[in-house]
Chain A
Amino acid sequence: MDPIRSFCGKLRSLASTLDCETARLQRALDGEESDFEDYPMRILYDLHSEVQTLKDDVNILLDKARLENQEGIDFIKATKVLMEKNSMDIMKIREYFQKYGYSPRAKKNSVHEQEAINSDPELSNCENVQKPDVKDDLSDPPVASSCISEKSPRSPQLSDFGLERYMVSQVPPNPPQAVNNYKEELVVVTPPSKPSLVKVLKTPKCALKMDDFECVTPKLEHFGISEYTMCLNEDYTMGLKNVRNNKREEATDTESRPNDNVFATPSSTIQQLEKSDAEYTNSPLVPTFCTPGLKIPSTKNSIALLLSKYNSNLATPVAIKAVPPSKRFLKHGQNIRDVSNKEN
């Protein structure tokens, strides 16, 4: 019973819809139904709008991608600009430091020859911290230690103060050598005498401690002068004076030994000074060339005679090579001016 009932119900609904539709179609055919005309239009319109939104979405995505691309390009450009500037600055700084003895670290290719690093201790610490991570550690530690050991006991050189241009001889100036090193990437092991870079900056100021400074006059005993020897010193001085006076007064050929006559000899110090040789008692003048005992025969120039006398008086060096010295008179000269005669 039930299946039949359900079947009949379905059939009935179908029939009703069929009636409806036929009525509608009939009306549409007659042109009375308004729905029919709008419906497809509506569908078309919906379709179009849907398509448009989809298009817009696509365009938005595309623009986004383009923008990101452009951003990347701009970023790369900016990076290049900044890197250029950085490399320029680094070059300048490196050149500046090289003037003062900084030698750049060699790359991995030239492992055998490596150099010590540069000036400022804190700077070298920074670079040491950064660079060994990146570059090779092979021969750095031994070289660094050896260079550090060389640094301390070396006496300051001119180039430590940036005055290497005043250096006359010895080591060739730093900049060309360092620049060549840098250019050829051949880092030569420098001799220990090569000065290292000193603080380029201001020299440390140190105030003089004048408060504690005592002006100590050297005591007389330091000079070997005491009350006992005082008289002797005077005698010695006077003796020298007398020697000169004797020479001036008497003729040039004196056989007396003024040295022996004048000096008293109580102290041992003066005994050491005074000897039979006159050379030790010479006054501390520059040894002069003169032959006071020389007598020039009148047949020769009288000027030469005058000159010889002049020499004995003033003891200034005069070249008397033109005059042949006669041996007879040399003896007299030897008494007083032994040294000068030796120079003959």
Chain B
Amino acid sequence: MEAEVDKLELMKNPVTLLKELSAIKSRYQTLYARFKPVAVEQEETKSRICATVNKTMNVIQKLQKQTDLELSPLTKEEKTAAEQFKSHMPDL
């Protein structure tokens, strides 16, 4: 799709451009129709993963509190990832 759009931009003749545009439009519509259910599934999976990971993290935190075990502190990326995941949760 991107390649076709680039080709479109290169075109100078408006008439041919218009023709190509309509062709691209039709192709995009078919693609969109195919991928829409996949997108829905993806969202659902994302939310489930978020929930599971958050639960796991909570359990680990509880265990850590109970045992007073020193676990390695969160690195930067881990912190950002954790934040990201927590922000996902209220969306549900």
Residues of A within 8 A of B72 (CB): 85, 88-89
A45 to chain B, nearest CB (A): 10
Q: Which of the candidate stretches A50-58, A224-232, A243-251, A276-284 sits at the interface with the other chain?
A: A50-58
Quick one: which of A44, A85, A201 has the most chain B CB within 10 A? A85
Residue of A nearest to B22 (CB): A54
Binding site for A on B (CB under 8 A): 1-2, 5, 8-9, 14, 17-18, 21, 24, 28, 39, 42, 46, 49, 53, 56-57, 59-60, 63-64, 66-69, 71-72, 74, 77-78, 80-82, 84-85
Q: Are A82 and B18 in contact, CB atoms less than 8 angstroms apart?
A: no
Can you list 19 residue pairs at the A/B interface with Cβ under 8 Å?
Answer: A48-B14, A50-B18, A51-B14, A58-B24, A62-B5, A78-B84, A78-B85, A79-B53, A81-B81, A82-B53, A82-B57, A82-B81, A82-B82, A82-B85, A89-B71, A93-B71, A96-B67, A97-B67, A201-B67
Contact between A55 and B8, CB atoms less than 8 A apart:
yes
- Tell me how far the C-beta of B61 lies from the nearest C-beta in chain A, rounded to whole angstroms: 9
Question: Which of A58, A82, A96, A123 is most buried by chain B, counting CB atoms within 10 A of its CB?
Answer: A82
What residues of B have a CB within 8 angstroms of the CB of A78 in the complex? Answer: 77, 80-81, 84-85
Docked CA distance A59–B69 (Å): 53
Could you tell me if A62 and B2 are in contact, using CB atoms closer than 8 angstroms? yes
For A45-73 the 0/1 string (1 means CB < 8 A from B) is 00110110011001101100100100010
Identify whether the interface residues of A are mostly helix, strand, loop, or mixed.
helix
> Does A1 lie at the interface of the complex (its beta carbon under 8 Å from any beta carbon of B)?
no
Listed in ascending order, the chain A residues whose CB lies under 8 Å from chain B are 44, 47-48, 50-51, 54-55, 58-59, 61-62, 65, 68, 72, 75, 77-79, 81-83, 85-86, 88-90, 92-93, 96-97, 120, 123, 126, 200-201
Considering the chains assembled together, what is the distance between the CA atoms of A305 and B26 in angstroms?
A: 130
With A86-B60, A89-B64, A200-B67 in contact, do A51 and B81 touch (Cβ < 8 Å)?
no
> CB < 8 Å: which of B1, B21, B24, B42 contacts A51?
B21
CB-CB under 8 A from A77, the residues of chain B are: 81
Complex Cα gap A62–B9 (Å): 14
